[in-house]
Structure 1
Amino acid sequence: MAYRDGQRLPLDERGGPGPVLRLSVNPRARRLSVRIDARAGEAVVIAPSERGLAQAVAFARSKGVWISERLAARPRGRPLQPGQVISLKGRPVRLEATPGAGAARLVEDGTVIRSGGEGEAYARRVENLLKRLARDVLVERTEHHLRTLGQRPVRVSIADTRSRWGSCSPHNRTIRYSWRVVMAPPPVIDYLAAHEVGHLVHADHSPAYWAVVERLIGDHRPLRRWLRDHGAALHAVGR
């Protein structure tokens, strides 16, 4: 069977429900490998070329128990509801209910989010507040990095993506961010803005690109690692 980059197929070759493999071709890869994408709930199978994908799939299926265990251990979704404690810019914030249908707001020196509504309406109001807060900080950090690099303004949008924290389209000068990064500590938020602004200079992830990011924020490696280690938990909030 011929496999292709980006294809998804079941871990169990007999098909049916269960873990999913996502095939990825990376010419820079030196060997076959499998990594867990906890945010998307998939195992990513990596090969240096499409010709190597068949062997990579066989390798992944030989690791089926390990893959299933890792995916089962990923953070589970938690609805946004009164009494829950979430993170906002790296600090704990408690969710509280208030009578009526008022919009969510940040109160008590930023330690409480209070909102009206019930059930899904309550969750939607809280999420809308988090999106507004995310836009505010991400626009501010984006504009800061644009000025540092002497770049023209861009259009910023906020989304709820499952597999990417952000994306940049240099040709139409747009940057899109996941609102969920507003739950991360400020240096991580700043790293994401620098990461995407850096793509206006270099669209790839070459050494020259990473040099731009380092110029903007210094050593980015601990911040990338933080997102990798904690990202799945942020993506579970409100799911």
Structure 2
Amino acid sequence: MAYRNGQRLPLDEDRPEPGSGPTLRLSVNPRARRLSVRIDARAGEAVVIAPTERGLVQAVAFARSKSVWIAERLAVRPRSRPLQPGQVIALRGRPVRLEATPGAGAARLVEEGTVIRSGGEGEAYARRVENLLKREARATLVERTEHHLRTLGQKPVQVSIADTRSRWGSCSPHNRTIRYSWRVIMAPPPVIDYLAAHEVAHLVHADHSPAYWSVVERLVGDHRPWRKWLKDYGAALHAVGR
């Protein structure tokens, strides 16, 4: 049987289609030295990695031999938390309480930024709160992006805000665009700043070579704690509002 990069399969080979249980996402990474499996808690699936597409057959077999471990890891991932009155979320790493107000007014920050108050009910309420978080994310990420661009003597870029499930950001040097996940606005400021530096540095080096990481270090110093923070707590941010 042949598999391809990016394909998704059920963890249980007795199920013909993915969707009713844990899923394997197949990934080819020429730099990988061995077969491996990692848990993508944000997407709720296991990622099977092989150096070549030919090696995916063996990688899938290896992953299915670890099916109990994979299922256990996925079972303890953060559960979704709806954006609703009474919920406490983070904004720039600090707790913010969600409150409702009569009518259909837009969400706004009040009480010195410790409360988000919004009109609407149900999905309308959640949408207003999410829109506020996106506005906050854009303002902060544009400011930090421009700061790092100036440091490197780079020309302006076009910044967009999205809700990606697997990546915190992406950079396209050829058309000078950077896209960020709005959810990073819930992280502490040094993590947000690191993400902006990470993407801006790709304008200098499109890969993740030592030369690339030296640019990131020039911008934010030791980046390892902030990378680890996203790895440890990123899944919880992706669970908010799902």
TM-score w.r.t. length of structure 2: 0.97
Letter aligned with residue 160 of structure 1: D
CA deviation vs aligned residue, 1:29-88 (integer Å, no higher than 9, x gap): 121110000001110011111221111111100000110111111111111000000000
Answering whether residue 17 of structure 2 is matched by residue 14 of structure 1, we say: no
What does 1:162-181 correspond to in 2, within 5 Å? Answer: 162-181=165-184
Letter aligned with residue 6 of structure 2: G
Rounded to whole Å, the distance in 1 between the matches of 2:123 and 2:105 is 14
Q: CA deviation at 1:183?
A: 0.1
CA deviation vs aligned residue, 1:202-236 (integer Å, no higher than 9, x gap): 11111111111011001111100100110000000
Answering whether residue 79 of structure 2 is matched by residue 76 of structure 1, we say: yes
Rounded to whole Å, the distance in 1 between the matches of 2:13 and 2:80 is 28
Alignment partner of 2:90 out of 87, 90, 98: 87
CA deviation vs aligned residue, 1:159-216 (integer Å, no higher than 9, x gap): 0011110111111111000000000000000000000001111111111111110110
Alignment partner of 2:154 out of 151, 156, 176: 151
Aligned length in residues: 239
What does 1:97-112 correspond to in 2, within 5 Å? Answer: 97-112=100-115
What is the root-mean-square deviation in Å for CA atoms of aligned residues?
Answer: 0.7
Answering whether residue 139 of structure 2 is matched by residue 136 of structure 1, we say: yes
Please give the secondary structure, in 2, of the residue aligned with 1:50.
coil
Answering whether residue 203 of structure 2 is matched by residue 193 of structure 1, we say: no
Rounded to whole Å, the distance in 1 between the matches of 2:211 and 2:13 is 41
Rounded to whole Å, the distance in 2 between the matches of 1:5 and 1:215 is 34
Rounded to whole Å, the distance in 2 between the matches of 1:139 and 1:238 is 23
Structure 2: gaps of 5 or more residues: none
Rounded to whole Å, the distance in 2 between the matches of 1:191 and 1:68 is 32
Please give the secondary structure, in 1, of the residue aligned with 2:55.
helix
Rounded to whole Å, the distance in 1 between the matches of 2:75 and 2:115 is 32
Please give the secondary structure, in 1, of the residue aligned with 2:49.
strand
Structure 1: gaps of 5 or more residues: none
Provide the residue aligned with 2:65 in structure 1: 62
Moved more, 48-57 or 168-177: 48-57
Rounded to whole Å, the distance in 2 between the matches of 1:41 and 1:208 is 33
